[in-house]
Amino acid sequence: MAARVQRMSRTMLKTLRDDPADAETLSHKLLVRAGYVRRAAAGIWTWLPLGKQVLENVTRVVREEMDAIGAQEVLLPALLPKEPYEQSGRYEEYGDLLFRLKDRKGGDYLLGPTHEEIFTQVVKDQCASYKDLPVMLYQIQTKYRDEARPRSGILRGREFTMKDSYSFDVSDAALEESYRLHRQAYQRIFERLGLDYRIVSAVSGSMGGSASEEFLAPAAAGEDTFVYCPACGFAANTEAMTTAMTPVDGSGHPPVEDLDTPDTPTIETLAEHLGVPASATLKNLLVKVDGEIVAVGVPGDREVDMGKLAEHLAPAEVELVTADDFTDRSDLVRGYVGPQGGMAGKAFRYLADPRVAPGTSWVTGANKADTHARNVVCGRDFEVDQYLDVVVVEPGDPCPRCAEGITLDRAIEIGHIFQLGRKYADAFELDVLGQDGKPVRVTMGSYGVGVSRAVAALAEQTADEQGLCWPREIAPADVHVVAAGKAAQTELALEVSEQLGAAGVRVLVDDRAGVSPGVKFTDAELIGVPTILVAGRRAKEGVVEVKDRRTGEREEMPVADAVARLA
């Protein structure tokens, strides 16, 4: 048999008629039922033969497009010492999301959730001069995050495959070019994968950067909500969108710690607890604590991430600022020192606070007028009460760019690109010698594709009632040959498979003995290879049926014609 022919009689594959009991999303149900993946524990998955092939196909596309922009593939460890993450502050910042472990001597380690720190160290070690830059490095690797709610199968794993890359440049303009190259590579990747996607502006969050965009695949199973304007094409995730919306005044809401619920609260539970207007609970909700989004959702979702919420209830970092820093009503301060030099015990929404006149000089914790004090540690330096702010974004709200009505849709985050700037370069003092012989601080970007998540996102977008329905580039085979009958059918099926394989076509052939044609047809639909070729009723005449999995169109033809058409 040609190497490209997989015989189902020799493949470890067990399909299931029923959905797994714990499955909430379509991709989860179908990938398990079609025998692509198997759950090992919550958020931890085994890739079975067909699944591994699909994952490999996605990986190949990602690798080719990264190579095409001149990025170099490396492989860093997933088991990491804690020190670099302490140095960047993320050992604490990540909170419960981080898998931490000890070695036999009691040394602290972690399983890498993302690798900015380690890449920065690698480049510090390997690159000494501006001549060594720009450099773009990537890896396709297993990542670990102890997600609060690892539901949805491989959409949100606690162990998952990510392509992460990092760019290192000597100037802001050069960083923009590296960012642009990645953006293009991502467009090509998602186009080749056959994913429907949008690029939306994003807030960079804990990565701590400036420019950032997300690649979102619209799907009902998505956990992200994004805003889109059909009139002008404006697209933003809801975090970015809040800067353009007027928040409902959230001051005076009862503390979230008081929320007493046995289970993960829903958006309604939280809204009710907060006393948010009833109309708000009916629509998409965005809950901010200390200016950071902690929950986004629509009614009926179990969206409130208590882990994330808890992190925000004890903010590790507080930024003190002057009144002049604020230009927008939705700007928020997390805490400040009052004009008399005293501590304000509570964080205020800055411009909404009548006691704050624009242009007021502020005395910071450092007792110095008109200065910023970043990274003041709350609890150590002073206390800031948590408060809540609720922003309501509804379909039909005016677009911040053109004022036409926006739409709100659910989507899966499949990729994310950041201009990090010098956050990590500063933390690790990453400099190279510049053209003038003086050291230059390096500026960085980081870029991620959810490789395993893309498999699930594709399944979400392409599946139908019968099962999975892969685009050809990603499918585990090009043609699924079904031997529907006895010896004559099996003989013909194997013969046509051989011919197709020899012509370079990847074939999965159902040559299982003792399995009825009906079961084989159902399995073929479920497995989702784009073309199904049936050796059935007219096998003895050398006539087969060629069926398009997506459209259901079928046509009978002699074997030679089928091979010619599919090769």
Report the interface residues with Mg ion, using CB under 5 A: 413, 416
Q: Does 306 bind ligand ATP (CB under 6 A)?
A: no
Close Cβ partners of 481 (under 8 Å, ≥ 6 residues apart): 493, 496, 497, 500, 507, 508, 509, 510, 532, 533, 534, 535
Region of 244-252, 301-309, 353-361, 445-453 interacting with ligand ATP (CB under 6 A): 445-453
Q: Which residue has the tokens 């001051």?
A: 251
Kindly state the tokens that stand for 393: 């974004």
Q: Which is nearer to ligand ATP, 155 or 344 (CB)?
A: 155
Q: Which is nearer to ligand ATP, 323 or 414 (CB)?
A: 414
DSSP class of residue 78 equals: S
Query: Closest approach of Cβ 26 to Mg ion, in Å?
Result: 21
> In the β-sheet with 479-483, what is the strand arrangement from edge to edge?
5-7, 507-510, 479-483, 531-535, 543-548, 554-558
Q: Does 410 bind ligand ATP (CB under 6 A)?
A: no
Q: What are phi and psi of 162, to 5 degrees?
A: -130, 145
Pairing of strands 431-433, 439-441: antiparallel
Q: Which is nearer to ligand ATP, 141 or 452 (CB)?
A: 452
Kindly state the tokens that stand for 360: 């007021």
Query: Closest approach of Cβ 132 to Mg ion, in Å?
Result: 29
Query: Closest approach of Cβ 395 to ligand ATP, in Å?
Result: 22
Enumerate helices (H) and strands (E) in the chain, giving the number of each. 15, 27
Residue in 90, 151, 253, 453 binding ligand ATP, rule: CB under 6 A: 453
Number of residues that bind ligand ATP (CB under 6 A): 15
Q: Does 162 bind ligand ATP (CB under 6 A)?
A: yes
Q: Which is nearer to ligand ATP, 410 or 416 (CB)?
A: 416
Query: Closest approach of Cβ 446 to ligand ATP, in Å?
Result: 9
Q: Does 84 bind ligand ATP (CB under 6 A)?
A: no
Q: Which one of ligand ATP, Mg ion, none is in contact with 162 (Cβ closer than 5 to 8 A by kind)? A: ligand ATP
List, as one string, the DSSP characters of 521-545: HHHHHHHT-SEEEEE-TTGGGTEEE
Pairing of strands 198-201, 212-218: antiparallel
Distance CA 473, CA 455 (A): 12
Q: Which is nearer to ligand ATP, 214 or 510 (CB)?
A: 214
Close Cβ partners of 24 (under 8 Å, ≥ 6 residues apart): 151, 152, 221
Cβ proximity of 171 and 443 under 8 Å: yes
Q: Which is nearer to ligand ATP, 113 or 265 (CB)?
A: 113
Q: Does 160 bind ligand ATP (CB under 6 A)?
A: yes
Percent of the chain as helix, strand, coil, to the nearest 5: 30, 30, 40
Query: Closest approach of Cβ 416 to Mg ion, in Å?
Result: 4
- What's the chain's Rg over C-alpha atoms? 27
Cβ proximity of 447 and 165 under 8 Å: yes
Region of 177-185, 400-408, 414-422, 473-481 interacting with ligand ATP (CB under 6 A): 414-422
Residue in 415, 467, 476, 528 binding ligand ATP, rule: CB under 6 A: 415
User: Which of 188, 186, 106 is CA-nearest to residue 445?
Assistant: 186
Query: Closest approach of Cβ 298 to Mg ion, in Å?
Result: 17
DSSP class of residue 466 equals: T
Q: Please give, one letter per residue, the 3-state secondary structure of 202-241.
A: CCCHHHCCCCEEEEEEECCCCCEEEEECCCCCCEEEHHHH
Query: Closest approach of Cβ 139 to ligand ATP, in Å?
Result: 13
Q: Does 414 bind ligand ATP (CB under 6 A)?
A: yes
Query: Closest approach of Cβ 223 to Mg ion, in Å?
Result: 9
Which residue sits closest to Mg ion, CB atoms considered? 416
Q: Does 308 bind ligand ATP (CB under 6 A)?
A: no
Q: Does 156 bind ligand ATP (CB under 6 A)?
A: yes
Region of 155-163, 315-323, 488-496, 524-532 interacting with ligand ATP (CB under 6 A): 155-163
Lay out the site mask for ligand ATP across 97-126 (x = CB under 6 A, - = otherwise): -----------------x------------
Q: Does 388 bind ligand ATP (CB under 6 A)?
A: no
Q: Which is nearer to Mg ion, 238 or 462 (CB)?
A: 238
Kindly state the tokens that stand for 140: 């396709």
∠ at Cα 376 (375, 378), nearest 5°? 120
Q: Which one of Mg ion, ligand ATP, none is in contact with 446 (Cβ closer than 5 to 8 A by kind)? A: none
Q: Does 460 bind ligand ATP (CB under 6 A)?
A: no
Catalog residues that contact ligand ATP under the rule CB under 6 A: 114, 145, 147, 156-157, 160, 162, 413-416, 448, 450, 452-453
